[in-house]
Amino acid sequence: MDNWDVTELLQAVNSGNKESYDALIQALYGELRNLAGSFLRRERAGHTLQPTALVNEAYLRLVGGDSTWENRSHFLGAAAQAMRRILVEHARKRAAQKRGGDGQRVTFNDLDVQTEDPNLDLIGLDAALTALSAEDERLAKVVELHSFGGCTFEEIAAALGVSEGTVRRDWAFARAWLYEYMNR
């Protein structure tokens, strides 16, 4: 389905048409499943969640919300954020079950941050993104849309209403900020 059809579906969903929501999910299911698979590849081996379950859980959260989406990138960013929250909650529950267990370690190479240890703590990363959002919401959105939503800089610029150059500068600054925050 092309972007025009997705935009029409998003407009129908935003106007309250529930049938359009199901059509939207069907149209983007492949992308959502790829996104979920990308998240889960960064998780520990033997993770109990499967891509389909992660997509379904994200779907339930998106349906239950009062959000409106401007375009495909905006919707996929919201879905990515929902998936990230689900995985963070899962990691917190798992860490709470361990006796004195540390946070779950995951590989997160999409930030392109050069570190001695490429395995970052998902709970710590979530805390860092939350702190970044409190300081500058747009920077956090750029990270979410690019790293979690798989959006290009051009798509992010359109979704946020800024230039592509601004998005590239925000991306570089956000990566450095997250690196510093995570290494404190």
Is pLDDT at 133 greater than 50 in this prediction?
yes
Give Dmax (Cα) for the chain: 51
Is pLDDT at 117 greater than 70 in this prediction?
no
The number of C-alpha atoms within 13 Å of 39 and in the hemisphere containing its C-beta is 32
* Confidence bin at 49 (pLDDT 50/70/90): confident
| Selected residue with higher pLDDT from 89 and 64 | 89
176 Cβ contact partners less than 8 Å away, ≥ 6 residues apart: none
Of all residues in the chain, the percent with pLDDT exceeding 90 is 13
Cα distance between residue 161 and residue 17, in whole Å: 26
Residue with tokens 């800089």: 153
Cα distance between residue 91 and residue 79, in whole Å: 18
Please tell me whether the overall predicted TM-score, pTM, comes out greater than 0.95 for this model. no
Is pLDDT at 104 greater than 90 in this prediction?
no
* Confidence bin at 168 (pLDDT 50/70/90): very high
The number of C-alpha atoms within 13 Å of 126 and in the hemisphere containing its C-beta is 20
Is pLDDT at 115 greater than 50 in this prediction?
no
Of all residues in the chain, the percent with pLDDT exceeding 70 is 77
